Amino acid sequence: MNRILMLTSLILCGLLPSSSTAFEPIFDAHIEYGAGSLPYSVTSADFDGDGKPDLAVANYGSDNVSILKNNGNGTFASAVNYGVGSFPFSVTSADFDGDGKPDLAVANSNSSTVSILKNNGNGTFALAVNYGVGSYPNSVTSADFDGDGKPDLAVANVNSNTVSILKNNGDGTFASAVNYGVGLSPWSVTSADFDGDGKPDLAVANYNSSSVSILKNNGDGTFAAAVSYGVESGPHSVTSADFDGDGKPDLAVVNAVSNTVSILKNNGNGTFASAVSYGVGSGPRSVTSADFDGDGKPDLAVANHSFNTVSILKNNGNGTFASAVNYGVGVNPYSVTSADFDGDGKPDLAVANISSNSVSILINRVCCVGLTGNVDCDLADVADISDLTALIDHLFISLASLCCSAEANIDGDLGGVVDISDLTALIDHLFISLAPTAPCQ
């Protein structure tokens, strides 16, 4: 078996870029699904309770939110649309009414409201109920700010230079907004416990002041005055994760004018070190974080509006990042989120494309071969049959574009099961279909 694995490893190493790490995230070519008009935001949750993450998309041009249910294998059913306010710009999900089902909150920029759509329990949604916030809300997030066990709302208001806090009354209805000043043109808001007191704080990306504001939670859902940290030009989106492994949430901010993502490491007390920036594509609009390569460290995905790409930046393991690797998506991507859509344990990507009125799905196919020919795909410290299965899966799917064979599939011999005979089919496929002297038939 080890000899077979070594042969497969050598074949693979000759066809894929080398790496010093055991895992490389390699995403399939994107598949597009229709949404509404000008989809500006996408989020994911299991709306119908089948254990698979579905999609919710805020459509700026059609004043609705699209729900795309996961078919169970990482493909999606046609969108079903629900009306919201005017020019919806951002969508998030949480169980607002405590029934165990994820509901929706949508920030409507033109009507200066947030729409709440309660889940009926089967992935369909009730009519939207609207709550007033500040002027031109562009971003909404949710966390339990007052410690009552119910998710509240935070909304970034571009024209009023504020963030609105709406406390959950306990039944999925919300109290009137309380506003806190931040920087100029706050475009994005996220939440994490930055100072380690067990209470979620806020981070806000301020587009026109090239800064990110930190608002510490006083412990009761009210917030201290904003403290700002400089980033590069045009901060458009902010997310949080523990990038350096010290147990404290750090920040990642995409800068739409500078074409960079800035990393601000948490000093351990909710203050932040100076930003360190990394290049991405042109016109980055959105950033999310997940462990794409399976090394236990959060990586970055950035949607590049002007390049029609998403950039993947791998964490080097200490909170610094490797150079961006780009994957094509739809036209003018504006928002990116991550979830395991196909149930293989690896985070995939969903990207909202405003000019193609679509959502792109990119499935993560992790390659497990490095410079040493390591084929321990399952990290079990031994090369065994499960590693062979992973290699066959990766090669048949991820390398299919290099061949003319339309039937490239993990079940290479069409026997209905993935087994050792599929390796023979794989080698046959590679040596014949990929040979320079053997043109595709």
Classified as helix, coil or strand, 394 is helix
The pLDDT tens digits of the residues spanning 372-422 come to 444 545 445 555 556 555 555 555 544 443 333 333 445 555 555 556 666
Give strand pairing partners of 181. 162
Distance of alpha carbon 214 from alpha carbon 248, whole angstroms: 14
* Confidence band, pLDDT 50/70/90 cuts, at residue 319: very high
Residue 427 has phi, psi (to 5 degrees) of: -60, -40
Query: Cα separation of 241 and 236, whole Å?
Result: 17
* pLDDT, tens digit, 9 for 90 and up, residues 258-297: 999 999 999 999 999 999 999 999 999 999 999 998 889 9
Q: Is 9's pLDDT higher than 70?
A: no
* Average pLDDT of the segment spanning 16-33: 66
| Dist CA 136 CA 126 (whole Å) | 24
Give the torsion sign (CA, 63, 252, 301, 234): positive
DSSP letter string, 152-215: EEEEEETTTTEEEEE-B-SSS-BPPPEEEE-SSSEEEEEEE-SSSSSS-EEEEEEGGGTEEEEE
Residue 193: CA atoms inside 13 Å, Cβ hemisphere, count? 11
